A and B are shown apart, each in its own frame.
Chain A
Amino acid sequence: MHQSFGTMTLEDGPSVAFDAVRALRRYRVLAEMEARNVDVLMVGRGGNPKYVAGSRGLTLLGSRPFAPTCVLVRHTRDVHLLSISDEGVPLEIPHAHLFPISWNPMNLMMRLAQIPGTTDARVIAVDGLTPLFETLLHNTFPDAELVDGDDLVRSVRRIKSHEEIAIIRTACALAEASLAGALDALEPGVSERELLGAFEHAMARNGVTTPGQEGAFCVTTHEPADPVSLAGAALRHIPGDRVVRDGDLVALHAIVQYGGYEGGVGRTWRVGSGGASPSPAEVALAARGRRALDALVAECVPGRAAVAFRRAWEATGEPLPALPIVTGVGLGMEPPIVGVGGPGSGGEGRWLIEEGMVLAVQVCVCDPGVATWFARETVAVSDMSPEVLSRFGWGPLG
Chain B
Amino acid sequence: MQPLFEGTPDLARMRRERHAKLVAAMETQDVDVLVLLGESNVRYATGAHAPAAEIGRATLQRPIAVVTVDGWVPHVFSAFPEGLPPELPPESCHGPLPVELGGGGLVDAIYDVLGGRPVGVVAFDEYTMPLYAEVSVSGLELGDASAVMGAAKLCKTFDELACIREAQRINDTAMDAVRPLARPGVRQTELTAAFLRRIRELCISSNCVDPVWQVMPARVSSGPYSTTGDVVFPTATTDRILREGDVIWTDTGCNWNGYASDHGRTWLVSRDARPDAHQVAQYQRWRAVVDRVLEATRPGATGGDLVRAACVGEARRPWLPHFYLVHGIGTDPAEAPLIGTDLGSEFDESIVLVPGMVMVLEPVIWEHGHAGYRSEDVVAVTETGWIALSHDTYHPFPDD
Give the interface of A toward B (CB within 8 A).
45-47, 56-66, 83-88, 95, 98-104, 107, 126-132, 134, 148-151, 193-194, 196-198, 200-205, 207-216, 234, 236-238, 240-241, 255, 257, 262, 322-323, 327, 331-335, 337, 340-343, 346-347, 350
Contact = CB atoms under 8 A, between A and B. Distances in A.
A314 B83 CA distance: 28
A198 B196 CA distance: 8
A320 to B, nearest CB: 12
Given A198-B197, A340-B95, A60 B208 contact: yes
Nearest to A234: B81
Which of A58, A62, A201: most chain B Cβ within 10 A?
Answer: A62
Contacts of A83: 227
B197 A201 contact: yes
B328 interface: no
Interface of B: 37-40, 49-62, 79-83, 95-96, 98, 100-103, 123-130, 132-133, 142-146, 187, 189-190, 192-194, 196-201, 203-204, 206-212, 223-228, 232, 234-237, 239, 322, 324, 333, 338, 341-344
Contact of B102 (A63, A88, A201, A343): A343
B207 A61 contact: yes
Contacts of B212: 58
B189 A61 contact: no
B57 A57 contact: no
A213 B144 CA distance: 30
Given A103-B342, A126-B129, A128-B126, A201 B57 contact: no
Given A63-B38, A343-B101, 12 more contacts: A45-B55, A65-B37, A85-B235, A103-B324, A148-B129, A150-B100, A150-B129, A193-B203, A241-B203, A333-B56, A340-B95, A341-B96
B58 A63 contact: yes
A205 B193 contact: yes
Contacts of A61: 52-55, 58, 206-209
16 contacts: A46-B56, A56-B236, A58-B236, A60-B210, A62-B39, A83-B227, A85-B225, A99-B227, A104-B342, A129-B132, A148-B130, A197-B199, A204-B189, A213-B57, A333-B53, A341-B98
B342 A134 contact: no
A334 B56 contact: yes
Contact of A129 (B127, B226, B232): B127
Contacts of B103: 343, 346-347, 350
A194 B200 contact: yes
B61 A341 contact: yes
Nearest to B238: A207
B60 A103 contact: no
Contacts of B203: 193, 241
Contacts of A343: 98, 101-103
Report which residue of A61, A214, A215, A346 has the largest number of chain B beta carbons within 10 angstroms of its beta carbon: A61
Contacts of A211: 53-54
Nearest to B234: A58
B144 A131 contact: yes
